[in-house]
Structure 1
């Protein structure tokens, strides 16, 4: 007699079915989560657009002269548990050219207001942006004719060219603004007169190595004054090591007492002295610190480097060319001039020789003391330039040192 056939699923069939079901459930969950995220993102963008519209409506209802120029966070708004931050950038525009920082801009007739809205957990979602144009009324333009304006263009280096720089704090008198993406900052409704203008950004320097570019601006009624373009760039540095031929000693106080840097960026003259400022609590811009001696806060450019020298004239000898790059310290070696100092034949014992530089343009002289100088001679290395060698209780002589040949000094 045949056995009855068992009904139902085997264990393997149950396991396979469970695995398939779990895979389908996981895929469904992923799609559901992505759908919820997309729905949330879309809802947040709609809310952000509403916040932007509200801000622009507030701007349109206000007088153009009361809408503050520059870029700043103007407020936050919370909708359905999400806080939205609103940044507003206001740029005055000229009637003739449509750009306040363009040459020949004429009087200011409009203000372009750009609003950007961001919120937490945006991820890769782009901020919501909106723009509007606000015109000055005839009465406002007539009132502006008795006032003046200043349009400042801020730029930075972009390879060999320049590009607008944002995030720069520009101050005119008691007013301050932050530059936007176009690098243009405009101060309007100004009383005619002289103002101090400064522009700076953390980590950046101007062509003179200052953390903020400073100048004086004269404002006239009914016109927009355009100062020279402010050029800022991340600072670089030079680390200078002095070298001397074998057998010649670099004087400890030379270390160096000063460097001369030459670049076409400097104005009104291209040569500038960088003096030792270690231990100076109020160290000026453009000085030497550390070991090796480092000239920091330099604008990116090609410099000609010479040891010593001070004043308006270049030092003698051949300077070393060094390229300063933003955010980096460039090492450079500068050769000193070799000098053999000896006493005249027949002079008994040793002597002390004082070596004094002849500074240019009223700069402080460098003084070195050589001890134990004999008739056999002492080899020393000094910065190029003119020096006076004086033997204690004896004769003196003045020579001009170069860097290619050894100078013989006999006292």
Structure 2
């Protein structure tokens, strides 16, 4: 009996035990392989960035010791050792781009108009295939001008671009807007030169012969304070000096979401953003800005129109006052608001609709009357007519309208008219306005 039990202990592993063991081994192996691959990727990324940093340093040192006339913009494609790259056998191909700009001896080229150009600012950027935006390697150095070289210096222009940032409390601070192209056009409208703003928001357009120029920024989905994408500044360039216009406030196109707030029992007769032909007014540095209803599938985020869901976009991020209706009789927003370009920060703005109550008299009149509300034209106002539908004589009607003074007109099938002029507010009227038959 004991011998038989011993034989069973020597029979080995069961099939289930083997399968479970293999499964555990596969899971552990997969985790180890993934860790090894991740480690190799991290090591390769670090090696690439280290090589790029060395190439940038080497290029900078070259410019420090180079003759003045040899300090010029150029682009090289090299391997990690700095040898011109010709084949994949050399490994990673690094692009070393050097940009040279004439600048004054000031903290920023964008601070002093008319300052003498006494230095060359060399910016070295190194990029390579597969890198991310965080991997970018940039190095800068200055090359001072010698007095004997002064006669060779052309003029330059610089422009400072600033963008707002908002704290959690809504406080605004202004900082430089980097990565925006600035172009200089001569008096004939021809492109003379261009540059890109650095991380401080300053762009220096170099090597400009003396004369008049227009500096232009025209970046898609960005706006100036007048809610226009294209912004210009006129400068007069002098030889050996830098011309700096007033700093420009420029920001990504921003938006807000308008939420209609109605008086209880006084709903809009139709979609207030479309069928009522409602217009949104915003008080900006450029005066009233209108946003008529968007046509078709036009996107209100990047077009100066009002979406069917109340979205109003293509606005510079500054304080606005909202009005509903084609005339700004009464502010429709409870407070000023600032549109934002980050989706999570886009504000929802309460827009108040007024309350109108009316009926046609005398009640003995028969038939169905067609009713319209008309707002007369006025300052910053083209006038507006809204269809309110139909009513029977003597019936009390309650409807929401933009605030302000309106003329309510009812027309019978026979052409008879009944009118009344009312001031619509957010307070529900205690009795209907009487449309008296004319």
TM-score bracket for the superposition, by shorter chain length = 0.7 to 0.9
Q: In structure 2, what is the equivalent of residue 319 of structure 1? A: 333
Match of 1:101, SS state, is coil
Structure-1-length-normalised TM-score = 0.72
* Alpha-carbon shift at residue 356 of structure 1 (Å): 1.6
Matched, 1:335 2:352: yes
Higher strand share: 1
Tell me by how many angstroms 1:172 deviates: 2.6
Compute the displacement of 1:364 (Å).
3.9
Aligned residues: 360
Contact 1:300 1:324 (8 Å CA) reproduced: yes
CA distance, structure 2, for counterparts of residue 40 and residue 182 of structure 1 = 27
* Contact 1:190/1:219 (8 A) holds in 2: no
Residue 378, structure 1, aligned to residue 420, structure 2? no
Could you list the per-position Cα deviations for residues 166-202 of structure 1 after superposition, in whole angstroms to 9, with x for gaps in the alignment? 11122232233221122111224144225252243x5
1:368 corresponds, among 375, 381, 386, to 386
Question: Of 279, 298, 310, which aligns to 1:293?
Answer: 310
Partner secondary structure for residue 63 of structure 1: helix
Where do 5+ consecutive residues of structure 1 fail to align? 1-29
**Aligned pair in 2 of structure 1 residues 110, 363: CA closer, same or farther (>3 Å)?**
same
How far has the Cα of 1:121 moved from its partner? 7.6
- Residues 82 and 55 of structure 1, relative CA distance in 2, 3 Å threshold: farther
Which segments of 5 or more consecutive residues in structure 2 lack a partner in the other structure?
Answer: 1-34, 81-89, 167-171, 186-190
Q: In structure 1, how many angstroms separate the alpha carbons of the residues matched to 2:333 and 2:133?
A: 51
Per-residue CA deviation, residues 193-250 of structure 1 (Å, 9 max, x unaligned), is 25252243x554433444x341241425355433332223344422223232233230
- Secondary structure, aligned partner of 1:252: coil
Query: Cα offset for 1:106?
Result: 1.4
Choose the corresponding residue for 2:95, options 72, 75, 85.
85
- Counterpart in 2 of 1:239? 257
CA RMSD in angstroms, aligned pairs only: 3.9
Contact 1:234 1:327 in 2 (8 A): no
Aligned-residue offset at 1:126 = 7.0
Aligned pair in 2 of structure 1 residues 104, 121: CA closer, same or farther (>3 Å)?
Answer: closer
Aligned residue runs from structure 1 range 168-207, under 5 A: 168-173=180-185, 174=191, 175-188=193-206, 189-195=208-214, 197-200=216-219, 204-207=222-225
Change (3 A) 1:203 1:44: closer
Q: Which residue in the other structure is 2:143 paired with?
A: 134
Partner residue, 1:252: 270
Which whole-Å CA distance do the structure 2 matches of 1:318 and 1:54 have between them?
60
Equivalent residues of 2:160, 2:202 under 8 A apart: yes
Per-residue deviation at 1:353? 2.3
Name the CA distance, whole Å, in 1 between partners of 2:390 and 2:49: 83
CA contact (8 A) 1:48 1:84 kept: no
- Tell me what 1:165 maps to: 177
Alignment-derived partner of residue 229 in structure 1: 247
Kindly state the Cα deviation for residue 357 of structure 1 after the two structures are TM-superposed: 1.9
Q: What TM-score do you get using the length of structure 2 for normalisation? A: 0.68
Distance 1:176 1:244 in 2: 52
Distance 2:202 2:269 in 1: 51
Q: Determine whether 1:109 maps to 2:114.
A: no
Match among 282, 307, 318 for residue 261 of structure 1: 282
**1:409 counterpart = 2:409:** no
Query: What CA distance in whole angstroms lies between the structure 1 residues aligned with 2:179 and 2:104?
Result: 23
